[in-house]
Amino acid sequence: MPAVLYEERDSLAFITLNRPEKLNTLTDELIQGIADGVDAAAASPEVSAIVLRGAGRAFTAGYDLTPAAGASWRRSYGARPVEPRAGAWDPVRDHAMMGANVRRFMKLWECPKPVVAQVHGYALGGGTDLVLCADLIFMAEDAIIGYPPSRVFGTPTTMLWIYRLGLEHAKQFLLSGDQIDAPTALRIGLVSKVFPADRLAEETERYARRFANIPANQLALNKLLINQAYENMGLRTTQLLGTLFDGMTRHTEEALRWQESFATDGFRETIRRRDAPFGDYGERPR
């Protein structure tokens, strides 16, 4: 079964994250599938807008941190391979890996057609690096969004939090890693609309189909104009720093010990201990 499903219907392209048994956690295959779907939608004359969504009970629970998934992220940047000693870290190789993810996430931002993200269940951790690149975010009223890796093992790489929220709320939720429920996300302007879970898909599609009544060049120019304002504010520089800092946070002594505890204490228990002081633990994944 492909990690991402692509469908065109009623003027819309549907890009569906399709690892429901793993809560649509992000792998290299899945991220590439999203990028390929955006390219296909951008090239299709039948598509006026894109709906990005997830199969199963969550939009995405963030990056897949299992050892098997980790092997797929290794990337070369054209350097002669060197056998690393224990604890060594190549920041350029790390940046090549995470930078490739950022470039693919940003295809949502750069696509000339509007992208509406349909979020149910969870959008957590690295999943927010993806979803915040969409133009509009529609959320189920019982859904949760947040970046708990800011407590240990990560910084946002696309770093659209600050541009979408402003200083006060970006600090509130990134310094703490607190998760955000749908009513709060709507109140602070992180998402555009909130619907009952059983109406989310219907309402998202109904809204997105309206773009078929607007010339494609008009949509493209207005999106480019809005995006350019944020580009001028230093978005790309912030993303470069966010990607580098993310690598740093994953290679601190605290982060290495935290990751080692997956093997000794189990993934769920390690996550539970991290999040318990903040009140968002139990079944909620990274």
Instruction: Output the CA angle 271-124-204, nearest 5 degrees.
Output: 150
pLDDT in the model for residue 285: 40
Closest CA relative to residue 179, chosen from 76, 24, 285, 21:
285
pLDDT in tens, 103-133: 999 999 999 999 999 999 999 999 999 999 9
* pLDDT for 244 beyond 50: yes
Q: Are the beta carbons of 29 and 253 closer than 8 angstroms? A: no
What token pair was written down for 208? Answer: 């997105």
Residues 147, 156 contacting (CB under 8 angstroms): yes
What does the pLDDT look like over 3-43, one tens digit per residue?
Answer: 999 999 999 999 999 999 999 999 999 999 999 999 999 99
**Confidence band (pLDDT; 50, 70, 90) for 189?**
very high
According to DSSP, the β-strands at 49-54 and 136-140 are unpaired
Domain ranges of the chain: 4-78+88-278
The whole-number pLDDT of residue 283 equals 43
Do residues 156 and 177 make contact, with C-beta atoms less than 8 angstroms apart? no
Q: Which two tokens stand for residue 233?
A: 């504010």
Domain 4-78+88-278 has CATH 1.20.1600.10: no
Q: What is the pLDDT of residues 257-282, one digit of tens each?
A: 999 999 999 989 999 999 999 987 44
Residue 282: predicted pLDDT = 42
Can you point out the beta strands (E) in the chain? 4-9, 12-17, 49-54, 115-119, 122-124, 136-140, 144-146, 180-181, 193-195
- Name the residue with tokens 């951790």: 125
pTM: 0.95
Tokens of 75: 């990337």
Go through the chain and tell me how many residues it has.
Answer: 286
